[in-house]
Amino acid sequence: MAAERAAELAEKAVRVVASRSQQAGLAAAVASTTSADADANADAMCVAIAAVRTGAVAPAARDDAAGRFGVGDAVGFVEDELVAWGEAAPTLEAVLTALAAEAELVTCIAGEGAPLDADAVAALAPASVELELEDGGQPSYWWLLSAE
């Protein structure tokens, strides 16, 4: 709502493109270009968002009510679905594998305190996918992932 209000107040042509994750927002930003107008950029950004699948691995903030994991354990998501939990390496590997199933490129953005270095992360990625590793420094997620 804040973005829509800011767009209403802007003196330039502005379009708001909704995304549900930081990773999708990054894919959208990469799809924009200074040579296109606002409508064309919004269309390109929407296409990029539709083509990306996202995942994440973070330390659990609290114990799971079902007893699957405790505070500090790794929890892994693909889109909004919890797909893995436990130790960091196998959890990240499960998320990478799920995202790579229908992708050519997986981008992995390491966050603050990520317990595995870039070489360890690269070793977990399926050989069938190109892995791009970046350092994002985000505080709440060990890894943010996107698959295209």
Same domain, yes or no, for 115 and 43?
no
Which residue range(s) make up the domain with 56? Answer: 52-147
Task: Give the pLDDT confidence score for residue 45 in this predicted structure.
Answer: 93
pLDDT tens across 73-129, in order? 999 999 999 999 999 999 999 999 999 998 999 999 999 999 999 999 999 999 999
This prediction has a pTM of 0.87
Task: Give the pLDDT confidence score for residue 19 in this predicted structure.
Answer: 86
Give the separation between CA 28 and CA 7, rounded to whole angstroms: 17
Report whether pLDDT(35) > 90.
yes
Same domain, yes or no, for 69 and 132?
yes
Radius of gyration over every alpha carbon of the chain, rounded to an integer in angstroms: 17
Q: Provide the b/e sequence for 121-133 (b: ≥16 CB within 10 Å).
A: beebbeeebebeb
Q: Looking at residue 139, which CATH number applies to its domain?
A: 3.30.1180
pLDDT tens across 38-86, in order? 999 999 999 999 999 999 999 999 999 999 999 999 999 999 999 999 9
